[in-house]
Amino acid sequence: MAQIKILYRNILENSTVNPTNASTTYPAYRLYDRDIGKLFKGNSSAATWNITIDQQSSATHTIYPVDRLIIPSGHNLNGIDLAIQYSSDNFAGDVNTATSWTQSTTGIIDKAITSNTQRYWRISIFNHSVPELPELFLGKDYSFQRNPAYGSRTGKRPNVMREETQSGKRRAIKLGELKNNRTYELSVIETTQKNDFEAWVTHTEGLKPIYLTDENGNVMFGEILNDFDFSYKAADIYSCSIEFLEVL
């Protein structure tokens, strides 16, 4: 069983984000609006096409660590060479590659790197005509201290509107694809993890979807449906439930 992890802070949201170029119809903010149904698109090609992220001065902004990149499916990067790079001087002379690869599918891009705290990051895309991607999520994983207890539930929720006529006949309209859902019962939470969860909720404000890596290693983009209520169990021990629903 894999350890459950969440990725809830995208450093692009508190950074200056500069792509090589951007279409005015598909602007750069779509890289970090947490809406994977809307595309960002470049405006023209380049031999090396970069998305540069500046977390800004530590005197005015917190510089957050990074150990994971996620780009959801919907991109056009299949068959393209890519790299995650970082720098101390905005890539003027200090250029370091955290990882590089040739993308082999049209599905989700999920890359883990050694945790690093740097002001400047960039995603480099090599020899591509005009890149398109729905989201660029760059941040640091948070791992649950313990996996859920027995009684937790996993499944799929139909995305269907159902009505019944006065004569009792069924009418149903499919509004979208099935959504994965998870209900986790966390029976032992120490004060440290309780504080971590509260920091998570404070950051997302119950509004921003996050990435979840579930107990089987599946990665899903989704929202938390319930309030975070912690039941006091004993000294420094709490319990809570988490209701997670996939966002399409």
Predicted pLDDT of residue 160:
86
Strands 142-143 and 66-71: unpaired
pLDDT for the residue numbered 32: 97
Helix (H, G, I), strand (E, B) or coil at 28: helix
pTM: 0.91
Q: Which among 118, 154, 114, 142 is positioned nearest to 211, based on CA atoms?
A: 142
Q: Which ranges constitute the DSSP H helices of 55-180?
A: none
Q: What is the pLDDT of residue 228?
A: 83
pLDDT attached to residue 151: 67
Q: What is the CA radius of gyration of the chain?
A: 20
Predicted pLDDT of residue 63: 97
- Mean pLDDT of successive 10-residue stretches along the chain, which has 248 residues: 91 97 96 97 95 93 97 97 98 98 96 98 94 97 86 83 86 88 92 94 92 94 91 90 93
Written as six digits, the tokens of 21 are 């170029």
Assigned CATH for 5-142: 2.60.120.260
Handedness of CA 77, 82, 84, 90 (dihedral sign): negative
Sorted by where each begins, the domain ranges of the chain are: 5-142, 145-246
> How many whole angstroms separate alpha carbon 162 and alpha carbon 173?
7
How far is 158 from 161, CA to CA, in rounded Å?
9
Phi, psi of 38 (to 5 degrees): -120, 135
A 10 A CB-CB count for 103 gives: 18
